[in-house]
């Protein structure tokens, strides 16, 4: 899997579809909107997507989100089985690209597998058992400072291990989704042709 080629394909697809949707709406993208689309900020602008923020809204960013949503809905109505947008979302999430924010605000969500909730429950139970055991061990007797520090470091290590394991699991899931979409619809060939 070539992550750079996938990112380029997904970017060109989403930018092209948002541009086409802008033309279809009767108001093509302005120069500022096109520049924003090509060079997105790493975090969504404050107040984007909500009218209740005291920070001034970024109407160009909001328009790009609305156009992305309209383009996605249009594509899904035309061909409900197409996985182009899911491919783009998985690629952007895997690469932590800012375009992921536009797709998320446009209403696209990553579908997690059914067993993901089960793993979350198991992780919560392990966390509760570890917390309770540390509390019970620490409460029965006065331990020297180095033993308390060792227990605390072990506990922090378990939490960090769980965090990195979750990130790696998410990356694997995004990679599987990308492969599934690539096989199902030959996305890379459609975008470059």
What tokens were used for 82?
């197409």
- Give me the residue spans of the domains in the chain: 3-111+185-192
Nearest to 2 by CA among 98, 100, 94, 80: 94
The H-assigned helical ranges of 47-192 are: 59-78, 84-95, 99-105, 115-140, 145-185, 187-192
Distances (CA, A) of 98 to 44, 86, 91, 148: 8, 16, 11, 42
Q: How does pLDDT run along the chain (193 residues), one tens digit per residue?
A: 677 888 888 888 989 999 999 999 888 888 888 888 888 776 655 555 555 555 677 788 888 888 888 988 888 888 877 788 888 888 888 888 888 888 887 777 777 777 777 877 887 888 788 777 767 766 666 777 777 788 778 878 887 888 888 888 888 888 888 887 777 765 444 544 3
What tokens were used for 78?
């035309």
User: pTM for this one?
Assistant: 0.67
CB 88 within 8 A of CB 103: yes
CB 36 within 8 A of CB 61: yes
In whole angstroms, give the CA distance from residue 25 to residue 52. Answer: 26
């Amino acid at each position: 899997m070539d992550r750079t080629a996938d990112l380029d394909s997904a970017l060109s697809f989403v930018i092209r579809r948002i541009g086409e949707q802008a033309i279809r709406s009767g108001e093509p993208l302005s120069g500022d909107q096109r520049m924003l689309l090509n060079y997105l900020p790493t975090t969504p602008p404050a107040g984007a997507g909500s009218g209740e923020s005291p920070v001034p809204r970024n109407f160009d960013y909001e328009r790009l989100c609305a156009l992305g949503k309209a383009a996605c809905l249009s594509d899904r109505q035309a061909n409900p089985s197409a996985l182009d947008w899911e491919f783009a979302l998985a690629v952007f999430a895997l690469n932590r690209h800012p375009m992921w924010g536009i797709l998320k605000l446009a209403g696209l969500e990553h579908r997690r597998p059914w067993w993901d909730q089960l793993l979350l429950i198991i992780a919560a139970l392990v966390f509760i058992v570890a917390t309770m055991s540390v509390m019970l061990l620490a409460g029965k007797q006065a331990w020297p400072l180095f033993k308390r520090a060792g227990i605390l470091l072990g506990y922090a290590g378990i939490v960090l291990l769980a965090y990195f394991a979750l990130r790696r699991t998410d990356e694997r899931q995004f990679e599987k989704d990308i492969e599934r979409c690539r096989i199902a619809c030959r996305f890379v060939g459609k975008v470059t042709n």
